[in-house]
């Protein structure tokens, strides 16, 4: 089986715990306005690489990954579910920690068991929740968030540790009450292990220009670390409210 791979990074430090071998999958159905990897959208064949070859690349630097592992990101790795499952299965035979960085958009709530083989060999899911409001999510990404939220609940029910990521984008995800609502949802995830509230940046502008694409948020200012920290407080307020209401 061959994976359609955009690229790899040998020493990733922001894609899961520890130092990691990061595999960027080619192809993504989402069209997030602030995406900084638009070159991964197209599903046309890029590098066709077998899972064993990716594991061989990992082994070359295995000494550096003692507290890390492999992260599948993208693009959207779950678009290539059979290959992703094979890759993580092979990694698990070698006791390599596996992290899935996903939007959850490919999850089908009508057939959740289809993903069980993958989840059985997934040690951590890093799930990007773009927006808690479905209508706003559609405007921001081109897709509903229904399957994404269902995936979050499913992996929680299956006992898979989940690490939530959320980007604060001016005019899109900077409303305090919507952040509180997001926190209320997150508070219901029983396997929540982490929360990253990330400030929007416009580092992707040059990449869009190189690809001959218009950058959708050209007039949107970057978010400061302090603004992201305040948004995190609102999300945490929602998490605490959910936990308190369930405890009473």
Task: Round the CA-based radius of gyration of the chain to a whole number and report it.
Answer: 18
Question: CA quadruple 189, 190, 191, 196: dihedral positive or negative?
Answer: positive
Q: What is the pLDDT of residue 61?
A: 95
Q: What is the pLDDT of residue 203?
A: 84
Q: Is 60 exposed, middle or buried (0-12, 13-18, 19+ CB in 10 A)?
A: exposed
Q: What is the pLDDT of residue 33?
A: 95
How far, rounded to the nearest angstrom, does the alpha carbon of residue 137 sit from its chain's CA centroid? 15
Q: What is the pLDDT of residue 206?
A: 87
Q: Which CATH class is domain 2-247?
A: alpha beta
Q: What is the pLDDT of residue 96?
A: 98
Q: What is the pLDDT of residue 20?
A: 98
The structural domains of the chain, with segments of one domain joined by +, span: 2-247
**For 15, how many CA atoms within 13 A lie in the half-sphere containing its CB?**
24
Residue 91 CA to residue 95 CA, distance in Å, equals 6
Residue 232 CA to residue 241 CA, distance in Å, equals 14
**pLDDT in tens for each of the 248 residues of the chain?**
999 999 999 999 999 999 999 999 999 999 999 998 999 999 999 999 999 999 999 999 999 998 999 999 999 999 999 999 999 999 999 999 999 999 999 999 999 999 999 999 999 999 999 999 999 999 999 999 999 999 999 999 999 999 999 999 999 999 999 999 999 999 999 999 999 999 999 888 888 999 999 999 999 999 999 999 999 999 999 999 999 999 88
Q: What is the pLDDT of residue 204?
A: 83
Q: Where are the beta strands (DSSP E) in 32-136?
A: 47-50, 69-73, 98-102, 124-128
Least Cα distance to 166 among 200, 201, 138, 128 occurs for: 128
Question: CA quadruple 47, 48, 51, 56: dihedral positive or negative?
Answer: negative
Q: What is the pLDDT of residue 66?
A: 85
């Amino acid at each position: 089986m061959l994976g359609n791979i955009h690229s790899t990074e040998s020493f990733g430090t922001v894609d899961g715990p520890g130092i990691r071998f990061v595999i960027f999958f080619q192809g993504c159905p989402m069209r997030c306005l602030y995406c900084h990897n638009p070159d991964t959208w197209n599903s046309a064949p890029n590098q066709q690489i077998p899972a064993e070859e990716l594991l061989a690349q990992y082994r070359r630097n295995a000494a550096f990954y003692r507290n890390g592992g492999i992260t599948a990101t993208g693009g959207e790795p779950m678009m290539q579910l059979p290959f992703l499952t094979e890759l993580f299965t092979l990694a698990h035979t070698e006791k390599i920690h596996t992290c899935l960085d996903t939007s959850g958009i490919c999850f089908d709530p009508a057939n959740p068991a289809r993903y069980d083989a993958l989840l059985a060999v997934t040690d951590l899911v890093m799930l990007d929740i773009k927006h808690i409001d479905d209508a706003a999510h559609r405007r921001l990404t081109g897709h509903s968030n229904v399957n994404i939220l269902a995936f979050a609940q499913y992996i929680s029910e299956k006992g898979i540790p989940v690490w939530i990521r959320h980007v604060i984008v001016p005019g899109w995800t900077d409303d305090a009450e919507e952040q509180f609502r997001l926190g209320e949802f997150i508070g219901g995830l029983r396997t929540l292990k982490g929360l990253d509230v990330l400030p929007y940046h416009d580092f992707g502008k040059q990449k869009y220009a190189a690809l001959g694409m218009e950058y959708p948020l050209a007039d949107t200012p970057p978010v400061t670390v302090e603004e992201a920290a305040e948004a995190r407080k609102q999300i945490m307020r929602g998490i605490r409210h959910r936990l308190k209401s369930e405890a009473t």
